[in-house]
Each structure stands twice: as structure tokens, then as C-alpha cells.
Amino acid sequence: MGDDLGDEWWLDDAKKSSDTSSDEDENRVKGTAKGRITQSDKTEFSKVSPTKRKAEEDVLSQKKTKRKRRTKQKISEHLSKSAPMPATVGDVMAKMEQHFKEKLSPIELDDLQLNESHFLSPNLSSQPLSTYLESAILNWRRDIEAKRPKAAKTCLLLLLTASARRAVDLNREAAAFKGKQCVSAKLFSKHMKIQDQADFLAKNRVQFAVGTPNRIAALLQQDVLNLAGTRYLVLDWNWRDVKFKRMCDIPELKTDLFGLFEKYVIPQAKTGDRLKIGIF
């Protein structure tokens, strides 16, 4: 029996081929839908306008800034509500050791160690300046009457503080302790020329000097000031500024202060144990 040439067999094959192609296209679309991101999606994402993208970045930046500001405010509130304890000798030495730990060798660190005998009694009861100095320095009146120091370019008592304004306040607060015969010097940089200070130190035997670590170091480096006649060095350690930071908490001040200690104060304190350090 021969083939039925009247049947349109090629149409059936074309239909089968079309059905197969449609199934493959449908599967391809489904497979793409299951994927994460297509190339066309990436293209659409890249078409986001720079202005819109910049606006989104600004919003994120503002959120981060607000978060940081809130954190700082919480720290300030915490410090303002809690009354910090006055520093001890151990606190001062620990802070100095922490500062020099990564800069000096163990042997060099050991050379900077001071003991209790190098210090006056710290101001643990938060007394006013004059009251503290009177209780810690018992021979002050005798030293003034003996007209110490015996040479110029030095001072009997040196008070180190954080700023010029604070130095002026401390000089005023110490008036009752100093007495009328005391010669005072203000050694800071604000509105004060270093040459004028050098001339004053050369012409006078100063008993009481108050200043900032940076200016004191500059005067010592220029050899217009020395610690040979200095019996007492008092640190304005416990005072905090408007940001609740002490002198040792401000990086620049801390570097100046401990650099001064390393080069001048500690060697002088270990020479005959004449220099005593107070913590106010």
C-alpha cells in the first residue's frame, strides 16, 4: 500500500517544530525569572541619575553624622553627671607610661619612673588652689622671706595648666597663697611675646610662675628659663574644659606636657630630690 500523497505531512512537522520552540522560549523566560539580576536589570540600575544617587548618598551621610553627634552628646552627658575622682600619683604615672609605651624602650621607660617621694600630697579633697598649696607647701613663707630663688632665669614654684585663660584664673586664685611680696610671671603664648618673658625672667627672681607646657618648653629650650631653682612643680591635672577634657586628654597638650617631663622635669626631680611635683 503506497503513501497517501494527499496528506499535508509537512504542516504537521512545522507545527511540532513550532511547539518545541515555544516550549524552549517559555523555559528560558522562566529560568531568567528565577535568576538574581539580568544584564538588562544592571543596565536599568546604571541609568539612575547622578543627582538622585548624590541625594541618596547625602541622606546616608547625614544619618551617620547624626548618629556620631548623638554618641558624643551621650558621652558628655555621662561625664557631666558623674563626678570624676581626683587623680593620684599612680594615675599620673600610668598616663605618662601609656603615652610613652610605644615610643620608648623598656629601659628608657624605666628611667622615667618616679616614686611617691618625688610628689607632694595630691589634691584628693578638691580644695581651692590657695588652700591646697598652703597644705602641700609648708615652707612657702620661709622661702619668700629668704628671697628664694637666689638666681634669675628660674622660679620657685611652676604651675602648669592647659590654656592662657586658665593660667590667668589660677594666678588670681593663688593670690592668698602667694602673699604681697611674691614676684609672679605669666608664661603663656597668647598676647605674650617670648622675648618679653625672657627679659622679665632675666631681670627678676621669680617665685611663682604659671604657664602652658608649650611655652615653658620653648623658654627652657632657649635657655632663658631653667629649673635649677625650682622647688615645686604643680600640675593643673584635674581641671576639665567645656568638653570635659583634662590637660592629659588633649593630644597636643599631652605631647607637650610629657615631652617637658621627659626632657626637663624628671631629670631635675631625680637630681638631689629637690623638685617636688604637686597634683591639683
What is the full DSSP assignment across 50-72? HHHHHHHHHHHHHHHHHHHHHHH
pTM: 0.71
Residue owning grid cell 623598656: 106
Which one, of 181, 133, 121, lies nearest residue 157 by Cα?
133
pLDDT number for residue 76: 55
Q: How far are the Cα atoms of 23, 86, 88, 107, 158 from residue 219, in angstroms, in the given order? A: 92, 30, 29, 29, 13
pLDDT, tens digit (0-9, with 9 covering 90-100), for 158-209:
999 999 999 999 999 999 999 999 999 999 998 889 999 999 999 999 999 9
Close Cβ partners of 280 (under 8 Å, ≥ 6 residues apart): 123, 129, 132, 159, 234, 235, 236, 237, 238, 239
CA atoms of 235 and 139, how far apart (whole Å): 19
Q: Where are the beta strands (DSSP E) in 162-275?
A: 184-187, 206-211, 232-235
Q: Count of residues for the chain?
A: 280
CA atoms of 136 and 123, how far apart (whole Å): 9
Residue type, 94: A
Which one, of 119, 122, 100, 121, lies nearest residue 111 by Cα?
100
- The maximal CA–CA distance of the chain, rounded, in angstroms, is 148
pLDDT, tens digit (0-9, with 9 covering 90-100), for 76-93:
565 556 678 899 999 999
pLDDT number for residue 274: 85
Residue 199 C-alpha cell reads as 627679659
* Helix (H) or strand (E) run with residue 95 in it: helix 89-100
pLDDT, tens digit only, all 280 positions of the chain: 444 444 544 445 544 445 555 554 555 544 444 445 555 555 555 555 667 666 767 777 776 665 655 555 544 565 556 678 899 999 999 999 999 998 999 999 999 999 999 999 999 999 999 999 999 999 999 999 888 898 999 999 999 999 999 999 999 999 999 999 999 999 999 888 999 999 999 999 999 999 999 999 999 999 999 999 999 999 999 999 999 999 999 999 999 999 999 999 999 999 876 899 999 9
pLDDT number for residue 116: 92
Which one, of 45, 108, 135, lies nearest residue 258 by Cα?
108
Local structure of residue 248 (DSSP, 8 states): G
Q: Where are the beta strands (DSSP E) in the chain?
A: 155-160, 184-187, 206-211, 232-235, 276-279
pLDDT number for residue 246: 94
Residue 161 near residue 187 (C-beta atoms within 8 A) = no
Residue 203 near residue 246 (C-beta atoms within 8 A) = no
pLDDT number for residue 47: 57
Local structure of residue 277 (DSSP, 8 states): E
CA atoms of 248 and 266, how far apart (whole Å): 17
